[in-house]
Structure 1
Amino acid sequence: MTDAADATVTAAAISADIDLDRAVEALLMVADEPQSVMGIATALGTPVMHVSETIERLVADYDGEDGGVRRGFELREVGGGWRMYVREDYDDVVAAYVSEQNPSKLSQAALETLAVIAYKQPISRGAIASIRAVNVDSVVRTLLGRGLVTELFTDSETGAINYGTTDLLLQQLGINSLDELPPISPLLADGSEGFDDDVR
């Protein structure tokens, strides 16, 4: 029997012996990135339709529908899959706890640089420095090291590397796409300083 066949048999055996709702819940609890319905179905040897129905039930359960208790966490679709998140109501509680346990945060310079990349990508290091009016080499290296930005391509004419954000940033922000970022114009002094007219 091939490895693929062994995996299929094992998955089928698992799906026959477990409560699907709890199995999906267990997988999502330990996953460190969003899980697709197809991926979960394959892992459990279960039809995709059954996994979709299970996720719908779990979402309703965590939201306290049908007289249940609303949980402090929720199941959210993000980055092409499903992942557990702290419910927004408890962000401050968790943020305070995390800051005590892990005081390592992005500096203000890193946050500003990350914002420029998020709104202007693809963008070169030189263009970022022009917008921020400071050298951003070390900050960009920090963001690359954290996995929040990545090198997208090298400009064939200038040789400049262009940067963009990663799926990890979407996961950290709890959004599906950059389209969900708030419009930047109201946050700027004159509605355009430092950004071109095409910024949302």
Structure 2
Amino acid sequence: MSQTTDASNGVKSQIESLLFIAHKPLKLKDFSNLLEQDQGLIKTALDELTTEKRTSGIVLLEGNEGYVLATNSENSTIVKKFFNAELREKLTEATVEVLGIIAYRQPISKAEIEAIRGVNSQYSLRTLLMRGLVEKIPSPSDHRSFLYQTTTEFLMHLGLASVNDLPSFEQLTSEVKLPETPGIDAGTDAELEVSPSSLPPAASSQNENIDVQ
């Protein structure tokens, strides 16, 4: 029994070290290949780690891309405060609006985003892709086109476990306190105020069912 416990603790320790240095989500098969262990054992270790770290400052999250270490959502206020300066320099108001639309309508196409905003959103999408906050996935209806969805990195910035924990649309788009008159480069999207009422029904109804943290 003691040997089994020691082995389990050893695997959990190795998993935690890998997640710390990976800087990207790791899937079950990644751990299995790297540690040369059965996926069943790895899954058990991951589940135990998730439970053990639930009240820690650093928690283990499982997203679409795999497992990742993230800050505890209970500490989201101080984490957001820390990241606010960096994000303020990187994201314009238009980009934050596009991010909000993707978060509540994902997966969503570029054409749908631009239909909601009424302006070209190429610059904002490129910025969000470069920042790792959104990603492109093949469209199930047309493999020649792509849809946009948020990433695990996006959830980490907000200190959330999943998109189901998203705050209200207004709170999300106001998380980054931008200057009242941000400097806009020539290639930046035109600024356009977006509110939940201007979104299609699918976005508004989802927003109404989300608790504000």
2:14 pairs with 1:23: yes
The answer (yes or no) to whether the contact 2:110–2:121 under 8 Å persists in 1 is no
Stretches of structure 1 that go unaligned for 5 or more consecutive residues are: 1-15, 64-69
Aligned residue identity for 2:201: D
The answer (yes or no) to whether the contact 2:98–2:124 under 8 Å persists in 1 is yes
Cα distance in 2, alignment partners of residues 163 and 52 from structure 1: 30
Partner of 1:197: 201
2:32 pairs with 1:41: yes
1:198: Cα distance to partner? 3.7
CA RMSD across the alignment = 3.7
1:27: Cα distance to partner? 0.8
The answer (yes or no) to whether the contact 1:36–1:81 under 8 Å persists in 2 is yes
Cα distance in 2, alignment partners of residues 33 and 46 from structure 1: 21
- Cα distance change, pair 58–151 in 1 and its aligned pair in 2 (3 A): closer
1:124: Cα distance to partner? 3.4
1:164: Cα distance to partner? 1.6
1:140: Cα distance to partner? 3.0
Report the count of equivalent residues.
168
1:105: Cα distance to partner? 3.8
1:59: Cα distance to partner? 2.3
Partner of 2:117: 132
Partner of 1:60: 51
SS at match of 2:16: helix
Question: What is the aligned counterpart of 1:91 among 73, 76, 90?
Answer: 76
- Cα distance change, pair 80–129 in 1 and its aligned pair in 2 (3 A): closer
For residues 55-83 of structure 1, the C-alpha deviation after alignment (integer angstroms, 9 at most, x for no partner) is 232223223xxxxxx42111121224221
SS at match of 1:104: helix
Aligned residue identity for 2:149: T
Task: Tell me the TM-score normalised to structure 1 length.
Answer: 0.63
The answer (yes or no) to whether the contact 2:58–2:71 under 8 Å persists in 1 is yes
Task: Tell me the TM-score normalised to structure 2 length.
Answer: 0.60
1:175: Cα distance to partner? 4.8
